[in-house]
């Protein structure tokens, strides 16, 4: 299902949101290629800013240190002059400041999936401190309950990704953006982009 609310907004950055395992990084990479934009993965930007992995940041400073770095990185990336495709981390809408900067000049796209689908995709949760040593399905069900309202409020476009490949999700996002009038078909790069055929 694709939902496109009818309020219009000028296109700026495109920000992908959704829980862990939603496919934000894989979809963002291919979407950026199709739109000829720069792709930024926020978790990657955080590790570059901090000089440490996400796991080490959580381990040494706890989640609050990670969230501070997440906000700093988000602001830095959105301040960049060119419109980017930004793959966020699942918790980015938890802070009011992040919601405000994203609402200012980004179209937010929610990649939605059932917790069972997400648990299947994240496997043993390696590299994701919130899942390590815990039951991924249980955590993802709780996070879905906590976070879905914020994703819903922020998103202009919602794509249900259960059972879809990366390319199918990208096409669904682009169709929605075209319906929405923020992407013109002639602005798209060719159809064959590496990684588009992969499973999420
Ligand atoms: C988090 C999701 C992770 C990462 C961090 C916290 C979350 O990103 O930002 O581990 O709070 O859901 P992905 O959604 O890309 O896994």
User: Which pLDDT band holds residue 193 (cuts at 50, 70, 90)?
Assistant: low
Burial of 186 (0-12, 13-18, 19+ CB in 10 A): exposed
More confident residue, 183 or 149: 149
- What integer pLDDT is reported at residue 9 of this predicted model? 41
Which two structure tokens, joined as six digits, stand for 19?
């829980």
Phi-psi region of 103 (alpha: psi -120 to 50; beta: other; left: phi over 0): alpha
Where do we find the tokens 């296109």?
11
Instruction: Report d(CA 46, CA 87) in Å as an integer.
Output: 12
The response to whether residue 16 sits with its C-beta less than 6 Å from ligand 1 reads no
Looking at the CA of residue 91, tell me the nearest atom of ligand 1: 11
Sorting pLDDT into bands at 50, 70 and 90, what band is 8? very low
Provide the whole-model pTM: 0.92
pLDDT(156) > 90: yes
- Ligand 1 contact, 29 CB (< 6 A): no
Select from 105, 145, 187, 189 the least CA-distant residue to 19: 145
Say how far apart CA 47 and CA 144 lie, in whole Å.
25
Q: How far is CA 168 from CA 28, 156, 164, 185, 199, in A?
A: 13, 19, 6, 16, 10
Best mutation site among 46, 91, 123, 139 for ligand 1 pocket (most ligand atoms within 8 Å of CB)? 91
* Shortest-distance atom of ligand 1 to CA 43: 9
């Amino acid at each position: 299902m694709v939902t496109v609310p009818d309020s219009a907004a000028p296109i700026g950055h495109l920000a992908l949101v959704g829980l862990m395992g939603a496919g934000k990084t894989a979809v963002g990479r291919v979407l950026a290629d199709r739109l000829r934009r720069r792709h930024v993965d926020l978790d990657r930007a955080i590790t570059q800013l901090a000089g440490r992995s996400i796991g080490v940041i959580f381990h040494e400073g706890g989640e609050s240190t990670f969230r501070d770095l997440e906000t700093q990185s988000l602001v830095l990336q959105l301040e960049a002059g060119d419109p980017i495709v930004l793959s966020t981390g699942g918790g980015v809408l938890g802070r009011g400041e992040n919601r405000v900067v994203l609402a200012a000049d980004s179209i937010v796209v929610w990649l939605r999936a059932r917790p069972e689908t997400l648990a299947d995709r994240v496997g043993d949760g390696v590299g994701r401190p919130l899942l390590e040593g815990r039951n991924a399905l249980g955590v993802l069900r709780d996070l879905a309950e906590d976070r879905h309202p914020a994703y819903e409020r922020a998103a202009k476009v919602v794509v249900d990704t259960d059972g879809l490949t990366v390319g199918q999700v990208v096409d669904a996002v682009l169709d929605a953006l075209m319906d929405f009038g923020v992407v013109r078909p002639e602005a798209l790069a060719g159809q064959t982009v590496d990684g588009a055929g992969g499973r999420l």
